[in-house]
A and B are shown apart, each in its own frame.
Chain A
């Protein structure tokens, strides 16, 4: 779960990492009020779960309360690259001497953690890593021993002497935060040295491990604050993995890999998937009915491709589940059903004998995708 900047900064402050004073604002008036509290100026920052805010117009330097209100109004009205925005963060303007970058991330290639620091702040770190990798200091941190003093010295050696002590304190606390709160990423871009010698975190990017949320109820509760598509919410409440996409062929499948593969096969057949929906191991009538309801609530859907591989769940059981689901849900578009695996022939026989007017049974994944693409073109 990617946290909003202001949530990350709450965690930073709780850990003792210095951040600018700031207020979360849901209206332009609140942003103006915040600027007045910060001696008339403020940095207004859009709160979203994606990066690239600086370049994308998501951060604005405002020299008056009126300017802060105008920036907040624009951000709240226009959103940010397709994301709904319901809050901005207004922060005090600080005299910056120098900008740096630091982060610690779970490194899936080693199974440990990777800490990075560079004196080149405020830049796109991926570009820097590609073009001038020697400017970034990297330290592997083993999970059994954790962050040690020599790691810290190695990292902060990248910075000017005046910033080293402050940065060392920040990196130590960042690692504590990452460890104690089960984060898979903590990133500060930029980390800054102020004119008065303090080192503070101007930004905060924190990603919390979803698998660890059960042991952090306070972090789990933050999930409620992110906007969610009503259809996605309904699927989630039913225990289904659903992601809305922008195509016209609805997809139901079992297993994340197979469903991802189904999106690819549909694209190769010349159509676009309307969603990702993984029903997991079972394919009961209940699951199938809910899945169809979720998918058919998307007006863009012109046909549904049900791609089931029967492993432990037998295809005859799946076939009966689909037929029963269709007695409860009114299929407004055709269903292309592909059953393969254990008892596939029996499953197809059940479907064929039912002669349901909206079901087209196709034995292979490639042919079924072609049929789904054809039907969706026909309905266009």
Chain B
């Protein structure tokens, strides 16, 4: 089993005809994801390696029954693409696009509250349920099906840690790359809630990084609502205060939001916090063996 994406995922790709869009669409299809449609305004009627392209999300949903969207539209138009997906009745939207203005995302965030659409991202690697469906850019070859749920703000750390898990024979139910932007869709709390309710997830991993207070709020949630074991990792102990480290999210502007404060908040509620990515896999292995 899995959360968010799985055997019943029917994927639509917004921005399918762009270079990145085409590349990852075909990778996802090769992985076994049911890719049913693409949307690029003005290119309706064409196809990408047999995948039909439509002008609008509404048309694509009508014709194919798509229930999930992956967005590769450029940053100027991506926020609107999310809104179009929500209005088109798409239940899950994974927005890979990097560089969307925060104001646009604030509008999207407020609008989605009144809809049934779940957003992952933006500026994220997407979601994979190993063996079932890959919606995004996480390299499927480093994952394996199993019973560990994983949610992360950073993309490459997902790859690194998943790879170490897989190398130890520990598979994953679903890996969620929630992205590092200040205003984003699904977060740690929503992800942990999904894993807690998933009968096929035994343990969850969350990896955070400096900036914001998502990890601290997740700690509060874990204390109250999560019974399954959680292993965490936080990147950025050595990041200097006030310097931007590539992610919009990864910026420390004061005393709060530091890696140390986050690790402390999580440890205070009984979460094991690994100090290196390799230690995550070791802690998980110990936990599952014990």
Interface of A with B (CB < 8 Å)? 50, 106, 108-109, 111-113, 126, 142-144, 179, 182, 184, 209-212, 214-215, 241, 243, 245, 253-261, 263-268, 272-273, 276, 278, 309, 311-312, 340-342, 364-366
Residues from chain B with Cβ under 8 Å of A253 in the complex = 156
The answer, among B75, B103, B180, B236, for a CB contact under 8 Å with A143, is B103
Asked if residues B210 and A260 are in contact (CB atoms below 8 Å), the reply is yes
Assuming the contacts A211-B101, A265-B276, asked whether A309 and B110 have C-beta atoms less than 8 A apart, the reply is no
Asked if residues B246 and A144 are in contact (CB atoms below 8 Å), the reply is no
Residues from chain A with Cβ under 8 Å of B254 in the complex = 126
> Which of chain B's residues 215-267 have a Cβ closer than 8 Å to chain A?
217, 233, 235-240, 242-248, 250, 254-255, 259
Residues from chain A with Cβ under 8 Å of B243 in the complex = 243, 276
Which of A109, A113, A211, A255 has the most B CB atoms < 10 Å from its CB? A211
Asked if residues B246 and A261 are in contact (CB atoms below 8 Å), the reply is no
Interface size class of B (residues with CB under 8 A): 35 or more
Given the complex of chains A and B, what is the CA–CA distance between A273 and B237 in angstroms?
12
Asked if residues A108 and B212 are in contact (CB atoms below 8 Å), the reply is yes
Q: How far is the CB of B164 from chain A (nearest CB, A)?
A: 8
In the assembled complex, 14 residue pairs joining A and B whose CB atoms fall closer than 8 Å, in A order, are: A106-B183, A108-B212, A112-B106, A142-B110, A143-B109, A143-B110, A257-B157, A257-B250, A260-B238, A263-B236, A267-B237, A273-B238, A276-B243, A364-B278
Q: How far is the CB of A75 from chain B (nearest CB, A)?
A: 20
Residues from chain B with Cβ under 8 Å of A184 in the complex = 102, 182
B163 CB-CB contact with A under 8 Å: yes
Asked if residues A241 and B246 are in contact (CB atoms below 8 Å), the reply is yes
Asked if residues B217 and A109 are in contact (CB atoms below 8 Å), the reply is yes
Asked if residues A256 and B245 are in contact (CB atoms below 8 Å), the reply is yes
Q: How far is the CB of A51 from chain B (nearest CB, A)?
A: 9
Given the complex of chains A and B, what is the CA–CA distance between A126 and B180 in angstroms?
24
Residues from chain B with Cβ under 8 Å of A366 in the complex = 276, 278
Assuming the contacts A143-B106, A256-B180, asked whether A341 and B111 have C-beta atoms less than 8 A apart, the reply is no
Asked if residues A209 and B156 are in contact (CB atoms below 8 Å), the reply is no
Asked if residues B207 and A257 are in contact (CB atoms below 8 Å), the reply is yes
Asked if residues A264 and B237 are in contact (CB atoms below 8 Å), the reply is yes
Given the complex of chains A and B, what is the CA–CA distance between A117 and B236 in angstroms?
32
Q: How far is the CB of B10 from chain A (nearest CB, A)?
A: 24
Per CB-CB distance, the 8 closest pairs between chain A and chain B, nearest first, are A257-B154, A255-B156, A256-B246, A111-B109, A311-B139, A212-B101, A258-B156, A257-B157
B65 CB-CB contact with A under 8 Å: no
- B151-190 interface code vs A (CB 8 A; 1 in, 0 out): 0111111011001000000000000000010111000000
Asked if residues B155 and A365 are in contact (CB atoms below 8 Å), the reply is no
Asked if residues B107 and A144 are in contact (CB atoms below 8 Å), the reply is yes
Closest residue on chain A to residue B184 by CB atoms: A111
B100 CB-CB contact with A under 8 Å: yes
Given the complex of chains A and B, what is the CA–CA distance between A210 and B157 in angstroms?
24
Given the complex of chains A and B, what is the CA–CA distance between A261 and B152 in angstroms?
13
B105 CB-CB contact with A under 8 Å: yes
Residues from chain A with Cβ under 8 Å of B244 in the complex = 243
Assuming the contacts A256-B180, A258-B160, A311-B142, asked whether A112 and B101 have C-beta atoms less than 8 A apart, the reply is no
Asked if residues A261 and B235 are in contact (CB atoms below 8 Å), the reply is yes
Residues from chain A with Cβ under 8 Å of B156 in the complex = 253-258, 309, 311
Q: How far is the CB of A158 from chain B (nearest CB, A)?
A: 23
Residues from chain B with Cβ under 8 Å of A276 in the complex = 239, 243, 245-246
The answer, among B184, B235, B238, for a CB contact under 8 Å with A257, is B235
Which of A266, A309, A342 has the most B CB atoms < 10 Å from its CB? A309
Asked if residues B242 and A341 are in contact (CB atoms below 8 Å), the reply is no
Q: How far is the CB of A82 from chain B (nearest CB, A)?
A: 11
Given the complex of chains A and B, what is the CA–CA distance between A113 and B106 in angstroms?
8
Residues from chain B with Cβ under 8 Å of A143 in the complex = 103, 106-107, 109-110
Q: How far is the CB of A238 from chain B (nearest CB, A)?
A: 14
Residues from chain B with Cβ under 8 Å of A340 in the complex = 160, 163
B141 CB-CB contact with A under 8 Å: yes
Residues from chain B with Cβ under 8 Å of A257 in the complex = 152-157, 180, 207, 209, 235, 247, 250
Residues from chain A with Cβ under 8 Å of B192 in the complex = none
Residues from chain A with Cβ under 8 Å of B142 in the complex = 311, 341-342
B277 CB-CB contact with A under 8 Å: yes
Closest residue on chain B to residue A266 by CB atoms: B238
Asked if residues A259 and B182 are in contact (CB atoms below 8 Å), the reply is no
Residues from chain B with Cβ under 8 Å of A256 in the complex = 154, 156, 180, 245-247, 250
